[in-house]
């Protein structure tokens, strides 16, 4: 029996017991469908996150903060007061407490800048404007994207912020356009808006800003973006009237290093900062932490799919063992006519692989159809404010790997029945009733 004959015979034999084979295929279908969907979710979410997080500027920037006290725990109670320490800053909000970190002072900024390998340091300043107004259209609350100076915005129109410019620049979110009276993103470019902000005494000041671009809302781009000159100007307004000598404190700072620095040099800079009591992260570090969470979630979902495939593997074993028992005399006849054990083994192994292929191919095909449909619906409804987000994306290589893995599981599951068939004694098999 030639190889082609083995394949055609195996396919035909698979459908001898349509119900039994069908149930086994359904079990494999469920596992392959789940694996393909979770793989698609992982690909889609990771792709979107990478496109957004990779916009966090510069590869030559470290985000630096005070290192936490590794020995302190929640049960230790409050630490003794130290007058030389800066005020602690909470990263939560009024209704939901967050983590608290020790603030950086101007002295800390000097220490960081003096660290070997650091070429410059800027404190991360968070301004809180009261409102934004355009052409007497009314005053509206303004939310500021604190990371705007470090990100590359997903632009709907206009250009990126220029932190070296002498002009006070702002990027408006697309959600602000109708409210402020702009008909299209292009119509806002070049216009001047007014930002209201209170000084230390509570007196409201007005600061004009030029709209240089309109950005789509993203997971990292919520709120308006301000360039560094505008941020500095607003911060100066907030500080105006502050008592002389009042200390300044900052949650974090951005430390710049040489763009050509090697990984070993960056690691040495972070280690040097750590020795001085500072925690430093590169963009790659932040991306890695975010992706780890996503990968864990996808991994858990994939684990359920693998369990379903293992259950389907036992279904294949049962199906083929029953087939071997029902076809014992047929196997004896084939061996009596000169078919060796190897080809009998190949015949039953091919049946197992075909069943695995059938279930996985159908599962992957249906998953691609359902996943693409659901993803398109979500993109135009739930996630319409996040342009570019396709929750489910399918990579051909991933689908091919899933089908290949399922076929391998099917082959391994079919090994036991195939060996049982190959070891059949032709004389005993022909006498089997």
For every residue of 275-295, DSSP letters joined together read HTTEEEEEHHHHHHHHHHHHH
Chain segment 314-326, per-residue pLDDT in tens: 888 888 888 888 7
Residue 98 has pLDDT above 60, yes or no: no
Secondary structure (3-state) at 152: coil
Give the pLDDT of residue 158: 95
Contacts for 382-390 with beta carbons within 8 Å, 24 or more apart? 385/175, 385/217, 386/48, 386/216, 386/217, 386/218, 386/219, 387/154, 387/216, 387/217, 387/218, 388/48, 388/51, 388/154, 388/216, 388/218, 389/44, 389/48, 390/44, 390/47, 390/48
Residue count of the chain? 433
Residue 236 has pLDDT above 80, yes or no: yes
Secondary structure (3-state) at 138: coil
Chain segment 412-430, per-residue pLDDT in tens: 988 888 888 888 877 776 6
Percent of the chain with pLDDT over 90: 30
Chain segment 266-310, per-residue pLDDT in tens: 999 999 999 999 999 887 676 676 677 777 887 887 888 788 788
- The rounded distance, in Å, linking the Cα atoms of 378 and 392 is 10
Residue 206's beta-bridge partner residues?
A: 196
Q: State the burial class of residue 199 (Cβ atoms within 10 Å of its Cβ: 0-12, 13-18, 19+).
A: middle
Structure tokens, 80: 């003794």
Residue 153: φ, ψ to 5°: -70, 150
Instruction: List helix spans (H) across 253-395.
Output: 263-275, 283-326, 328-336, 341-380
Residue 342: φ, ψ to 5°: -65, -40
Neighbouring CB atoms inside 10 A of 133's CB total 16
- The rounded distance, in Å, linking the Cα atoms of 62 and 339 is 70
- The rounded distance, in Å, linking the Cα atoms of 414 and 54 is 46
Residue 149 has pLDDT above 70, yes or no: no
- The rounded distance, in Å, linking the Cα atoms of 364 and 361 is 5
Residues 271, 272, 276, CA angle at the centre, nearest 5°? 110
The H or E element that residue 230 is part of is helix 228-239
In contact, 99 and 65? CB cutoff 8 Å: no
Mean pLDDT estimate for the chain = 82
Query: Beta strands of 124-175 (E only): which ranges?
Result: 131-133, 139-140, 155-158, 169-173
- The rounded distance, in Å, linking the Cα atoms of 220 and 112 is 27
In contact, 137 and 177? CB cutoff 8 Å: no
Provide the residue ranges of all domains of the chain, joining segments of one domain with +: 3-53+289-431, 61-282
Neighbouring residues of 387: CB distance < 8 A, sequence distance ≥ 6: 154, 216, 217, 218
The H or E element that residue 25 is part of is helix 18-53
Quickly tell me which residue has 């069943």 as its tokens. 355
Residue 377 has pLDDT above 60, yes or no: yes
- The rounded distance, in Å, linking the Cα atoms of 323 and 348 is 9
Task: Name the pLDDT band for 211 (thresholds 50, 70, 90).
Answer: very high
Q: What is the DSSP letter of 87?
A: P
Give the pLDDT of residue 63: 86
Chain segment 53-96, per-residue pLDDT in tens: 655 555 668 889 888 654 444 455 555 655 555 555 544 444 34
Chain segment 384-394, per-residue pLDDT in tens: 777 777 889 99
Residues 175, 177, 141, CA angle at the centre, nearest 5°? 70
Residue 295: φ, ψ to 5°: -65, -35
């Amino acid at each position: 029996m030639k190889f082609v004959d083995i394949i055609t015979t195996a396919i035909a034999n698979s459908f001898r017991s349509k119900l039994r084979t069908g149930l086994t295929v359904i079990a494999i279908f469920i596992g392959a469908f789940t694996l393909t969907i979770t793989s698609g979710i992982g690909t889609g979410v990771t792709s979107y996150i990478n496109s957004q997080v990779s916009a966090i500027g510069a590869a030559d920037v470290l985000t630096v903060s005070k290192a936490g006290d590794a020995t302190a725990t929640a049960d230790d109670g409050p630490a003794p007061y130290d007058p030389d320490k800066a005020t602690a800053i909470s990263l939560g909000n009024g209704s939901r407490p967050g983590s608290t970190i020790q603030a950086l002072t101007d002295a800390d900024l000097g220490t960081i800048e003096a660290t070997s390998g650091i070429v410059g340091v800027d404190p991360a300043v968070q301004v809180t404007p009261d409102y934004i107004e355009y052409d007497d259209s009314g005053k509206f609350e303004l939310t500021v994207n604190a990371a705007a100076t470090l990100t590359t915005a997903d632009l709907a129109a206009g250009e990126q912020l220029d932190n070296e410019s002498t002009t006070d620049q702002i990027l408006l979110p697309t959600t602000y356009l109708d409210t402020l009276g702009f008909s299209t993103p292009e119509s806002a470019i070049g216009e001047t808006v007014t930002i209201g902000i209170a000084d230390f005494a509570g007196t409201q000041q007005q600061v004009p800003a030029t709209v240089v671009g309109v950005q789509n809302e993203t997971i990292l781009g919520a709120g308006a973006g301000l360039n560094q000159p505008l941020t500095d100007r607003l911060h100066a307004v907030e500080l105006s009237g502050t008592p002389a000598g009042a200390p300044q404190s900052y949650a974090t700072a951005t430390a710049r290093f040489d763009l050509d620095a090697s990984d070993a040099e960056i690691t040495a800079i972070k280690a040097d900062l750590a020795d001085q009591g500072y925690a430093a992260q590169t963009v790659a570090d932040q991306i890695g932490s975010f992706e780890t969470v996503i990968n864990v979630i996808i991994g858990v979902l994939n684990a359920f799919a693998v369990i379903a495939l293992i259950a389907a593997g036992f279904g294949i074993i049962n199906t083929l063992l029953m087939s071997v028992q029902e076809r014992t005399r047929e196997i004896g006849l084939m061996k009596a006519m000169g078919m060796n054990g190897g080809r009998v083994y190949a015949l039953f192994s091919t049946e197992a692989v075909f069943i695995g292929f059938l279930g996985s191919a159908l599962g992957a095909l249906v998953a691609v159809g359902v996943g693409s449909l659901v993803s398109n619906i979500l993109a135009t409804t739930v996630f319409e404010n996040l342009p570019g987000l396709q929750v489910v994306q399918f990579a051909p290589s991933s689908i091919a790997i899933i089908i290949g893995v399922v076929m391998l599981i099917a082959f391994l599951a079919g090994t036991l029945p195939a060996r049982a068939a190959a070891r059949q004694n032709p004389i005993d098999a022909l006498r089997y009733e």
